[in-house]
Amino acid sequence: MPVRSRTLSILCLGPVAAIFLLCAASRVQAEALPPDPEEAAASAATFEDLVARAQAGDASAACEVGVAYLNGTRVAQDFRQGLAWLVLSSDFAFGYARYVLADVYSRGYAGVPISDENAYYYASLAAAASSLPEKYRQRAVKLRNACAKRLTAAQIASLQARAALAPLDAAGLPATTR
């Protein structure tokens, strides 16, 4: 069956089914291609460079490494490593890492236990990050407020005092999110 008539017959199934089937067909075709060894080697070298920059104190690189470990992109998925790199980036006052940590702890992403206290703390820091784009700051405010509803006044006061001692804002977003 030619591609055009196959596409038309898929569209007769309805828009949701059509999108699913077209995406699935694209994925099957993409998975059938063998990986490019040169591209894999370049990606590994790039990730090693990123880790080296993160180890040298680059907050943006540490955030990228953390997100890569959480998502299992460019490296095997490892939640402990991901959290450790994101916390390091947050310790360097990197706003986007703080936002990601708030989100991870609020949802219990992929094996990370839900923690309203940690989510509130990191969301408070992200909401105060002037270098973080407004859409992320607004999301951080919503996360913080949602967590606050499940915390006691004493917990909130303690977390606010802890946040007041945290280093202030470092610049921007990681290069991969810009």
- Which of 144, 92, 153 minimizes the C-alpha distance to 118? 144
8 Å CB contact between 115 and 101: no
Report d(CA 160, CA 120) in Å as an integer.
Answer: 9
User: Using one digit for the tens of pLDDT, what is the confidence trace for 2-26?
Assistant: 444 433 333 333 333 333 333 333 3
**Identity of the amino acid at 99:** Y
User: Using one digit for the tens of pLDDT, what is the confidence trace for 119-153?
Assistant: 999 999 999 999 899 999 999 999 999 999 999 99
Tokens 């706003």 found at: 95
pTM for this structure?
0.72
